Amino acid sequence: MTMVAKKILVVDDDFKDLNLMKSILEHEGYEVHGATNGAKAIDMLGTRFDLILIDIQMPTLTGYDLMRLIREKINGKSNLVYVSVVPKKNVDMSNVDGFIQKPFKTPSFIKLIKSKAGGK
């Protein structure tokens, strides 16, 4: 029996951060999709993701706005986690499933991802 890779969507307007997270997650065996802004992320929601990582500070559609739209559109079927330079104490954590502080250490990043998306 083959296990299907868990699908993760990474939404970050910083290409360096987006590519770093993608490469870490792909190395861990996840199927990773990336979006450089909230509008692109919304367009990708036809696919079911096990986990969506969202940067808070993005132009046009902030992470907060995106999270609200995703919750309305997919009705809580995916875990949503913020990944941000904004200190956690300043983040509105209502209706979100987790938080990863940037810059992060790879082992703690992977541990949180596995707890929210499950193993590969």
Q: How many Cβ atoms from other residues are within 10 Å of residue 8's Cβ?
A: 26
Look at residue 1 and tell me whether its pLDDT is greater than 80: no
Q: Residue 37's closest CA among 7, 69, 1, 2?
A: 69
**Tokens of residue 57, six digits:** 């500070």
Which tens digits make up the pLDDT trace of 5-25? 799 999 999 999 999 999 999
3-state secondary structure of 8: strand
Domain 7-117 has CATH 3.40.50.2300: yes
Report pLDDT for 75. 63
57 neighbors 84 (Cβ within 8 angstroms): yes
Q: Residue 87's closest CA among 74, 71, 99, 98?
A: 99
Report pLDDT for 60. 83
Sequence ranges of the domains in the chain: 7-117
* Predicted structure pTM score: 0.93
The strand order across the sheet containing 31-35 reads: 31-35, 7-11, 51-54, 79-84, 98-101
The mean pLDDT of 77-85, rounded to a whole number, is 93
| Rg for the chain, CA atoms, rounded | 13
